[in-house]
Amino acid sequence: MKPLSKAELRECLVRREPADHKGTFGHALIVAGSRNMAGAAVLAARAALRSGAGLVTAAVPAGVQPLVAGAAPEALTLGLPENAAGCLRGEAVSRLQAAHERTAFDVMALGPGLSREPDTAKFVVLALSSLPLPAVVDADALNNLAAQDHAGVRQLLSGRGQPCVFTPHPGEMARCLALSVKQVAADRAGCAERLSREWRGTVLLKGRGTLIFGGGRGALNSSGGPALARGGTGDVLTGLIAGLWAQLLASGRGKGDMAFRAAALGAWLHGRAGELARRQRTVYALTAQDVVENLAGAFKELAA
């Protein structure tokens, strides 16, 4: 499996024209967060904003809505019903459906910081089965799916009628395939291909040598490094891919398999932003917020 060239990645960028407006570049919906992990929603929303998406809405438990709105002021926010633990519950799906009818989101990112509460597990299944949106599925959305009957999950995903990008790290991949982490490490490409086939979507397997597999096509990401091995960077990647995908879809300027293109471009930009942040902060002091702040440098390098 080979890396995509910079020329191939550059083709995934959505060009800008003089008459463009914010609606041209899509509306990304970030469904994330819980009382103890509101930062995950903030990081994903900030990354989606830095991706170039025209609009971003962060849909979060109502109790953390003010915090998220203050931390990502350029994003719209939507407070959703929560349980006593401050985590989303199943009734939140109807609120999202109503918002989608009014707003027409282009892509949904689902998972960062949601928790594994039983109420939230129900919410994840209902959201994927009820919201007709392309979806980037990450973190606790993956964990909650992995805890369901595997045949039922495959049926849900194959029948939803919209593409998905799944972004597991090795531990999440192991849970999704009912394997050990050691087994995943021994056959990363095989596991990515298998999950892509069984769950009918594009898979981005994080870790050293991030792999992207979908539609019978595979690619190796060439950017990144150990500086990204810390909490929050995966949330950044999720929001970034959602924003890139929204642009490809809404602008009408995307070509080919846009889920694969958004995932591959997002992986490279995320990894390169991590490399740039490492130069400034060192491998020790870098944080996920530094990765967000260096996305501009990664875009500038690729677009040059």
The three-point CA angle 87-239-124 to 5° equals 35
- Spans in the chain with pLDDT lower than 50: none
How many domains would you assign to the chain?
1
**Residue 287: which domain range?**
17-303
Please report whether residue 196 resides in a domain. yes
What is the structure's pLDDT at 1? 84
CA distances from 165 to 93, 161, 195, 238 (A): 20, 13, 11, 9
Q: What is the DSSP letter of 257?
A: -
Please report whether residue 2 resides in a domain. no
Rounded CA separation 184/109 (Å): 24
Rounded CA separation 31/111 (Å): 7
Please report whether residue 261 resides in a domain. yes
15: exposed, middle or buried (Cβ count in 10 Å: 0-12, 13-18, 19+): exposed
Residue 169 tokens, joined: 């790290």
What is the structure's pLDDT at 26? 98
Please report whether residue 4 resides in a domain. no
Please report whether residue 221 resides in a domain. yes
Please report whether residue 1 resides in a domain. no
Please report whether residue 9 resides in a domain. no
Please report whether residue 288 resides in a domain. yes
Question: CATH no. for residue 149?
Answer: 3.40.1190.20
Q: Regarding beta strands 76-80 and 55-61, do their DSSP bridges make them parallel or antiparallel, or are they unpaired?
A: parallel
Rounded CA separation 3/210 (Å): 10
